[in-house]
Amino acid sequence: MKQYHLTKEGYENLLKELDDLVENKRKEIAARLREAKDFGELSENPEYDYAKKEQAFVEGRIEQINEILQNYIILNENNGRDIIAIGSTVAVRDPEEKKNRKYKIVSSVESNPEENKISDESPMGMALLGKKIGEEIAFKVLNKVRKLKIIDII
């Protein structure tokens, strides 16, 4: 059985999401399904079809979160600033773009590129793990090698 690695923040976020799905989303979808049924023939009712698809997605996500929460390990986040580990926030410089960026290294369960949370299993995440300030990394993305310099571990 697979074990899921979570940061404390990731664990708490999953609990909140599960609570919202069970306590709110399920009820909202059930109400929408009841309303859609009142419009008559279900086979030609796009609102009913949409609500059924959303219901299936929500139930699948609830099942997925329950599986994670039954088989998780909370990681000791890196409180030091010497070596990059899961839980580290890293400032890097892209020499080509001449830009600095910050990323938090998290487990694959918690990754969210829009929030600059990158998975420890991603090419960049794997390249960063175990590195120190001042080191340079290289990793391949879409047949291109990217290089970054680590400027800080926060």
The mean pLDDT value of the chain amounts to 90
| CA-only gyration radius of the chain, Å | 21
Q: Find out whether 127 and 139 touch, Cβ atoms under 8 Å.
A: yes
Q: Find out whether 93 and 151 touch, Cβ atoms under 8 Å.
A: yes
Spatial CB neighbours of 122, under 8 Å, sequence gap ≥ 6: 108, 111
Q: From CA 103, how far away is CA 118, in angstroms rounded?
A: 7
Judge whether 4-74 and 89-153 match in fold.
Answer: no
Delimit the domains of the chain by residue range: 4-74, 89-153
What CATH class does 89-153 carry? alpha beta
Q: Is the pLDDT of residue 17 over 90?
A: yes
**Percent of the chain with pLDDT strictly greater than 90:** 64
Q: Is the pLDDT of residue 15 over 90?
A: yes
Residue-wise pLDDT tens digits, 97-115? 889 999 999 999 999 999 9
pLDDT in the model for residue 43: 66
Where does the pLDDT of residue 116 fall: very low under 50, low under 70, confident under 90, or very high at 90 and above?
very high
Q: Would you state the CATH architecture of domain 4-74?
A: Orthogonal Bundle (1.10)
Q: Are strands 89-94 and 99-106 parallel, antiparallel or unpaired?
A: antiparallel
Residue-wise pLDDT tens digits, 74-93? 987 655 678 999 889 999 99
Read off the amino acid at residue 61.
R
Q: Residue 150 forms beta bridges with which residues?
A: 92
Residue-wise pLDDT tens digits, 27-50? 999 998 888 877 666 667 788 888
